[in-house]
Amino acid sequence: MPTYSPPVRDMKFLLNEVLDISQYGHLPRFEEAPRDLADAILEEAAKFAEGVLQPINLSGDEEGCTRNDDGSVTTPSGFKDAFDQFVENGWPLMGAEEQYGGQNLPQVLGIAVSEMFSSANQSFAMYPGLTRGAVEAITAGGTPEQKAKYLPKMSSCEWGGTMNLTESHCGTDLGMLKSKAVPQADGSYKITGEKIFISSGEHDLTDNIIHMVLARIEGAPAGTKGISLFIVPKVMVNEDGSLGERNSMICSSIEHKMGIHGNSTCTLNFDEATGYLIGEENKGLRLMFVMMNAARLGTGMQGLCQAEAAYQNASAYAKDRIQGRSLTGPKNPDGPADPIIVHPDVRRMLLEQKAFAEGARAFLYWLSLHNTLEDVSDDEATKEKAGDYMALLTPVAKAYVTDGGYKSATNAQQVFGGHGYIEETGASQFVRDARIAMIYEGANGVQALDLVGRKLAMHGGRPLFSFIAELDAFIADNGGNAELDPFLDGLKGAREALNESTTWLMENGLTNFDNAGAGSHDFLQLLGLTCLSYMWAKMAKVALAQGDSDDPYYANKLHTGRFFLARMLPDIGSHLAKIKSGADPLMAMAEDGF
Amino acid sequence: MPTYSPPVRDMKFLLNEVLDISQYGHLPRFEEAPRDLADAILEEAAKFAEGVLQPINLSGDEEGCTRNDDGSVTTPSGFKDAFDQFVENGWPLMGAEEQYGGQNLPQVLGIAVSEMFSSANQSFAMYPGLTRGAVEAITAGGTPEQKAKYLPKMSSCEWGGTMNLTESHCGTDLGMLKSKAVPQADGSYKITGEKIFISSGEHDLTDNIIHMVLARIEGAPAGTKGISLFIVPKVMVNEDGSLGERNSMICSSIEHKMGIHGNSTCTLNFDEATGYLIGEENKGLRLMFVMMNAARLGTGMQGLCQAEAAYQNASAYAKDRIQGRSLTGPKNPDGPADPIIVHPDVRRMLLEQKAFAEGARAFLYWLSLHNTLEDVSDDEATKEKAGDYMALLTPVAKAYVTDGGYKSATNAQQVFGGHGYIEETGASQFVRDARIAMIYEGANGVQALDLVGRKLAMHGGRPLFSFIAELDAFIADNGGNAELDPFLDGLKGAREALNESTTWLMENGLTNFDNAGAGSHDFLQLLGLTCLSYMWAKMAKVALAQGDSDDPYYANKLHTGRFFLARMLPDIGSHLAKIKSGADPLMAMAEDGF
Contacts of A337 in chain B (CB under 8 A): 173, 175-176
| Domain annotation covers residue A457 | yes
Report CB contact under 8 Å: A521, B345. yes
**CA-only gyration radius of chain A, Å:** 24
B257 to chain A, closest Cα gap in Å: 5
Q: What is the pLDDT of residues A493-509, one digit of tens each?
A: 999 999 999 999 999 99
| pLDDT score recorded for residue A82 | 98
- DSSP per-residue codes, A101-163: T-----HHHHHHHHHHHHHH-HHHHHHHHHHHHHHHHHHHH--HHHHHHHHHHHHTTSEEEEE
Q: Within a 10 A sphere around the Cβ of A101, how many other Cβ atoms?
A: 15
pLDDT category of residue A290 using cuts at 50, 70 and 90:
confident
Pick from B495, B491, B570: which is nearest to B533 by CA?
B491
Handedness of CA A161, A166, A167, A173 (dihedral sign): positive
Q: How many CB atoms lie within 10 A of CB B408?
A: 32
Distance CA A433, CA A350 (A): 19
Domain count, chain B: 1
- Residue A524 forms part of a structural domain: yes
- The pLDDT-based confidence of B108 (bands split at 50, 70, 90) is very high
| Cα B269-B186-B71 angle, rounded to 5 deg | 20
Is B566 contained in some domain? Answer: yes
For residue B265, CA distances in Å to A426, B136, B271 come to: 18, 21, 19
Burial class (CB in 10 A: 0-12, 13-18, 19+), A152: middle
Interface of A with B in 519-538 (CB under 8 A): 520-521
pLDDT of residue A289: 83
Q: What pLDDT sits at residue A293?
A: 75
- The answer to whether position A485 is within a domain reads yes
Of B354, B439, B521, nearest to A345 by CB-CB distance is B521
Provide the mean pLDDT of chain A: 97
Q: A459: pLDDT confidence band, cut at 50, 70 and 90?
A: very high
Residue B295 pLDDT:
82
Which of B172, B518, B555 faces A348 most closely, judged by CB atoms? B518
Within 10 angstroms of residue A456's Cβ, the number of other Cβ atoms is 20
Domain hosting B466: range is: 443-585
Identify whether the C-beta of residue B230 lies closer than 8 Å to the C-beta of residue B276.
yes
Asked, for residue A543, whether it belongs to a domain, the answer is yes
Considering CB atoms only, which of A350, A421, A423 is closest to B594? Answer: A350
pLDDT band per the 50, 70, 90 thresholds, residue A457: very high
Lowest mean pLDDT among A75-79, A85-89, A246-250, B99-103: B99-103
> Is the pLDDT reported for residue B293 higher than 80?
no
For the cut 80, the answer to whether the pLDDT of residue B294 exceeds it is: no
Measured CA to CA, the distance from residue B136 to residue B398 in angstroms comes to 18
In this prediction, residues A133-141 reach a mean pLDDT of 94
Q: Which residues of A touch B585 (CB under 8 A)?
A: 351, 559, 562-563, 565-567
User: For residue A199, which of A119, A130, A138, A135 has the smallest C-alpha distance?
Assistant: A130
For chain A positions 197-216, those within 8 Å of chain B (CB to CB) are: 197
The answer, yes or no, to whether residue B292 has pLDDT greater than 90, is no
pLDDT for res A328: 94
pLDDT of residue B411: 98
Tell me what pLDDT residue A291 has: 76
User: Considering only CA atoms, which of A289, A448, A439, A173 is closest in space to residue B324?
Assistant: A173
CB contacts, 8 Å: B257 with chain A: 421-423, 428
ipTM exceeding the 0.95 mark: yes
What's the pLDDT score for residue B401? 98
pLDDT value for A548: 84
Chain A (246-285) residues lying within 8 Å, Cβ to Cβ, of chain B: 255-259
Look at residue A360 and tell me whether its pLDDT is greater than 90. Answer: yes
Query: Within the 388-407 window of chain B, which residues sit less than 8 Å (CB to CB) from chain A?
Result: 406
For B221, which DSSP code? P
Q: What is the pLDDT of residues A401-424, one digit of tens each?
A: 999 999 999 999 999 999 999 999
| B289, pLDDT greater than 90 | no
Amino acid letter, B418: G
Q: Could you give the CA distance from residue A450 to residue A395 in angstroms, rounded to a whole number? A: 7
Among A453, A574, A584, select the one facing B574 at the smallest CB separation. Answer: A574
What's the pLDDT score for residue B90? 96
- How far is CA B518 from its chain centroid? 25
- Enter the pTM of the model: 0.98
Cβ within 8 Å, pair A173-B324: yes
Coil/strand/helix, residue B370: helix
Strands B73-74, B66-67: pairing is antiparallel
Residue B291 has pLDDT above 90, yes or no: no
One-letter identity of residue B361: R
Q: By the CB < 8 Å criterion, does A468 face chain B?
A: no
* pLDDT for A151: 97
Task: Tell me the shortest Cα–Cα distance from A266 to chain B, in angstroms.
Answer: 12
Residue A172, Cβ density class (10 Å: 0-12 exposed, 13-18 middle, ≥19 buried): buried
**Shortest CA distance to A526 belongs to which of A544, A551, A548, A500?**
A500
Q: What is the mean pLDDT of chain B?
A: 97
- Whether residues A517 and B344 touch (CB distance < 8 A) is answered with yes
In this structure, the number of other CB atoms found within 10 A of the CB of residue B74 comes to 17
Say whether pLDDT at B484 is over 80: yes
Residues B345-350: what's their mean pLDDT?
98
Which residue of A lies nearest to B593 if distances are taken between CA atoms? A556
pLDDT at residue B469 in the model = 98
Are B505 and B456 a contacting pair, CB within 8 Å? yes
In a domain, B574, yes or no: yes
Q: Which amino acids of B are annotated catalytic?
A: 441
Instruction: For B373-398, write each residue's pLDDT tens digit.
Output: 999 999 999 999 999 999 999 999 99
Residue B516 to residue A327, Cβ atoms within 8 A = yes
Q: Does B510 touch chain A (CB under 8 A)?
A: no
pLDDT of A403: 98
Rounded to a whole number, what is the distance in angstroms from the first to the last CA of chain B? 44
Helices vs strands, H then E, count in chain B: 18, 11
Closest approach of chain A CAs to the CA of B101, in angstroms?
A: 36
- B119–chain A Cβ distance below 8 A for any pair: no
Q: How far apart are CA A360 and CA A300, in angstroms?
A: 9
Q: Is A9 on the interface with B (CB under 8 A)?
A: no
For residue B391, give the nearest of B282, B297, B473 by alpha carbon. B297
Put simply, whether A230 touches B (Cβ < 8 Å) is: no
Chain B positions in Cβ-Cβ contact with residue A489 (cut-off 8 Å):
none
Active site residues per annotation of A: 441
The CA distance from A496 to A280, in Å, is: 45
Q: Flag whether residue B319 sits within 8 Å of chain A, measured between CB atoms.
A: yes
Reported as type and span, the H/E element at residue B210 is: strand B208-217
Reported confidence tier of residue B525, pLDDT bands at 50, 70, 90: very high
CB atoms within 10 A of CB A476: 9
**B594 at interface of A, judged by CB pairs closer than 8 A:** yes
> Which residue type is seen at B494?
A
Three-state SS for B282?
coil
Give the pLDDT score at B514: 97
The predicted-structure confidence for A101-133, as pLDDT tens digits, reads as follows 999 999 999 999 999 999 999 999 999 999 999
B460 within a domain of the structure (yes/no): yes
Work out the pLDDT band at B257, boundaries 50, 70, 90. Answer: very high
Is there a contact between A574 and B573 if contact means CB atoms under 8 Å apart?
yes
Q: Give the pLDDT score at B290.
A: 74
pLDDT(B83) > 90? yes
Mean pLDDT of A155-182: 95
Q: Is A417 in Cβ contact with B171 (below 8 Å)? A: yes
Q: Could you tell me if residue B478 is inside a domain? A: yes
What is the per-residue pLDDT across B171-189, written as a single tens digit (0 to 9) for each?
Answer: 999 999 999 999 999 999 9
| Model confidence band, residue A292 (pLDDT cutoffs 50, 70, 90) | confident
Whether residue A306 is predicted with pLDDT greater than 80 in this model: the reply is: yes
B341 touches chain A (CB under 8 A): yes
Give A420's Cβ-side CA count (13 Å radius). Answer: 30
Average pLDDT value for residue range B536-556: 95
Residue B232 distance to chain A (closest CA, Å): 24
| Interface residue B334 vs chain A (CB under 8 A) | no
